Structure 1
Amino acid sequence: MQRTTHLLYLHGFRSSPNSVKATKMAHRVKTQAPGVTWWCPQLPASPREAMALLQAGAADWPLDRTAIVGSSLGGFYAAWLARQWQCPAVLLNPAVHPARDLARHLGEHPVWHDPSQRIFFEPSHVQALSRLEAQMQDVPLAKPRTLAFIAQGDEVLDWREMLACHGGGQVRLIEGSDHALSDFDLYLTEIMEFLHLA
């Protein structure tokens, strides 16, 4: 695998580029791989708009040197894009059935890291997630190039579903921890090495 020159980080539902994991990852890339193009956009609530943003923003990226890191819903998006782009991805407690899980969260919500910002999650967004889930089944990775960090202590998502979905790639099954991966510092070196950034 060629060295990664372009890295996309995708945050989770109601999160932002200011999340703890995103900022720690950005700092590690800046200090250890300063020549790498780093992009962590604020994702729209609409999955359709999010995918359009990502595909347009990375349209001129060299996909053979591109990699993705995604957390929770961003992990689902990362897995979807990894199939489209056939590039490596690191998945941090990735959502597996976001349409089912987020159907309970319709309406207006504050953004975790800036409660003054609001997102609106609509029924059409659940339908869009269902379509993306179906497409995931249609486009398997040519060869699994994913590394999934799955916390058995995740209080939001079922670790067994994550393992069943992503067990074809590399898996780091973590005893305990939580959905936010509060012990994220422990895994940064492993992530950098997998992405050929170290």
Structure 2
Amino acid sequence: MLRTTHLLYLHGFRSSPNSVKAKKMADIVQRQHPGVTWWCPQLPASPREAMTLLQDGAANWPLDRTAVVGSSLGGFYASWLARQWNCPAVLLNPAVHPARDLARYIGEHPVWYDSSQRIFFEPSYVQELSRLEAQMQDVPMSEPRTLAVIAQGDEVLDWREMLARHEDGQVRLIEGSDHALSDFDLYLPEILEFLHLA
């Protein structure tokens, strides 16, 4: 497999490029792999706009040397892109049924890592997520190149659903931990090896 030269990181719902995991990954890439193109954009609340931003932004990337990392809702997006691009993806407590799970969050919310920023999650965004979920079923991966890091202690998402969705790829099932993967450092060596950045 070719070494990763372009790495995309996707944060979760109400999160940002200032999340702990995103900043740790950015720091590792900057210090240890300065030649790797790193992109961790602030994602629009609209799933359709988020996918357009990502596909346009990576339009000139060499997909055979591209990898994606995503957390929570970003993990769902990363899984979707991995199918579209046929590239490897690391999925950190990835959302499995985001349309169902986020339907109760319609309205305005503060961003976790910047209380001055707010997002408004509109009802139409649930339909956009439903369309993305349907497209996931239409583009199966013949050989899943995913590493799903799943915490049984996740207090937001059901680890059983995550495991059932991603068990065809590599899985790191963690006893305990939490949705944010507060012990993220423990899994970094395995993640970096999977991404061919070790």
Q: What is the CA–CA distance in structure 1 between the aligned matches of 2:177 and 2:25, rounded to whole Å?
A: 18
Q: What is the CA–CA distance in structure 1 between the aligned matches of 2:34 and 2:191, rounded to whole Å?
A: 16
CA deviation after TM superposition for structure 1 residue 129, in Å? 0.1
State the one-letter code of the partner of 1:133. Answer: E
Q: Percent identity?
A: 86
- Indicate the SS of the match to 2:109: strand
Equivalences for residues 47-58 of structure 1 within 5 A: 47-58=47-58
Q: CA offsets, 1:31-51, max 9 Å, x none?
A: 221110000000000000000
Equivalences for residues 132-147 of structure 1 within 5 A: 132-147=132-147
CA deviation after TM superposition for structure 1 residue 29, in Å? 1.2
Q: What is the CA–CA distance in structure 2 between the aligned matches of 1:123 and 1:177, rounded to whole Å?
A: 32
Q: CA offsets, 1:115-170, max 9 Å, x none?
A: 11010001110000000000001101121100000000000000000000000000
Contact persistence 1:66–1:87 (CA under 8 A):
yes
Instruction: Provide the TM-score with structure 1 as the length reference.
Output: 0.99
Q: Note the residue ranges of structure 2 that are not aligned, 5 or more in a row.
A: none
Structure 1 match to 2:75: 75
Q: What is the CA–CA distance in structure 2 between the aligned matches of 1:27 and 1:121, rounded to whole Å?
A: 30
CA deviation after TM superposition for structure 1 residue 177, in Å? 0.0
**Root-mean-square deviation (Å):** 0.5
- Indicate the SS of the match to 1:4: coil
Q: Note the residue ranges of structure 1 that are not aligned, 5 or more in a row.
A: none
Equivalences for residues 126-165 of structure 1 within 5 A: 126-165=126-165
Structure 2 match to 1:89: 89
Q: What is the CA–CA distance in structure 1 between the aligned matches of 2:141 and 2:67, rounded to whole Å?
A: 14
Q: What is the CA–CA distance in structure 2 between the aligned matches of 1:78 and 1:156, rounded to whole Å?
A: 19
Number of corresponding residues? 198
Contact persistence 1:177–1:183 (CA under 8 A):
yes
Instruction: Provide the TM-score with structure 2 as the length reference.
Output: 0.99
Is the aligned partner of 1:125 residue 2:125?
yes
Is the aligned partner of 1:39 residue 2:39?
yes
Structure 2 match to 1:114: 114
